[in-house]
Homo-oligomer: A and B are copies of this chain.
Amino acid sequence: MNNKKTSKTKSTRIQEQNRQRILEASLTVFSRYGFRGTRIDQIAEVSGMSRSNLLYYFKRKEDIYRAVLNEILAEWLEPLRAISADGDPRIEIGAYIRAKCKMASSAPEASRLFANEILQGAPMINDILTGPLKTLVDEKAKVLQNWMDKGQIRRMSPHHLIFAIWATTQHYSDFDHQIKAILGKSIIDEEFGSEAAQSVEDLLLHGMLPRHPEPNID
């Protein structure tokens, strides 16, 4: 019926394809320079299209930025969502840590984009942090608390435990450049990724398990 201003209703292949190209390029650039530090021309160049054409798809820089953030957000939180209250804590948390490391390895730019956004005070996603994210974290914190109450993991602040997992895993993507400078290896190398994941999982699991584990554990 009215197809004049409802736009994006029937986005063509080429439309969707170009939007995707832009979003990918944007992720790369924004994750490095932040919102303000990024110039539209950079995105245009990386995405291989003219600035004009780019602005045909996204009217303003901020629109691109928000679109990228939103696109990543869901999958970014997925691993945390996947933690099951019914599972074994070592299995569940181990899987979570490995998933986070995997993401740090396969999508380091997404991680850095969030890091950047939060460093700047999360001007665009503050409502998400205080809303959905807080809700999710609080919920999983309860799961952890429950495991602690049952003695399956050491008693500690569940929130701080979550922060520790975030910190250690994301460190490999966010500070990749520093690590490269020190070790000469990058998280995007698959091998080094495994090594890091192993290391983090090992350290944290040991840190959170009870001193004298019940003998009947697998």
Contact between B36 and A178 (Cβ–Cβ < 8 Å)?
Answer: no
Interface, chain A (partner B; CB < 8 A) = 4-5, 31-37, 45, 48-50, 112, 115-116, 118-122, 126, 129-130, 133-134, 137-138, 154, 156-157, 159-161, 163-164, 166-168, 170-172, 174-175, 177-179, 181-183, 195-196, 199-200, 202-208, 211
Counting every copy of the chain, the complex holds: 4
Given contacts A119-B112, A119-B115, A207-B207, contact A179 B163 (CB under 8 A): yes
Contacts of A166 in B (CB 8 A): 171, 175
Contact between B154 and A206 (Cβ–Cβ < 8 Å)?
Answer: yes
Given contacts A4-B50, A208-B203, contact A126 B181 (CB under 8 A): yes
Contacts of A200 in B (CB 8 A): 160, 164
Contact between A202 and B156 (Cβ–Cβ < 8 Å)?
Answer: yes
CA distance A122 to B218 in the complex (A): 42
Contacts of A37 in B (CB 8 A): 33-37, 120
When C-beta atoms are compared, the residue in chain B nearest to A31 turns out to be: B119
When C-beta atoms are compared, the residue in chain B nearest to A164 turns out to be: B168
Among candidates B122, B154, B171, B177, residue contacting A167 with C-beta atoms closer than 8 Å:
B171
Contacts of A206 in B (CB 8 A): 154, 206-208, 211
CA distance A138 to B164 in the complex (A): 24
Q: List 25 A-B contacts (CB under 8 A).
A: A33-B34, A33-B120, A34-B34, A34-B36, A34-B116, A34-B120, A35-B37, A36-B36, A116-B116, A118-B174, A122-B178, A122-B181, A129-B177, A138-B182, A159-B182, A159-B183, A160-B199, A163-B168, A163-B175, A164-B171, A166-B175, A167-B167, A203-B204, A204-B207, A206-B206
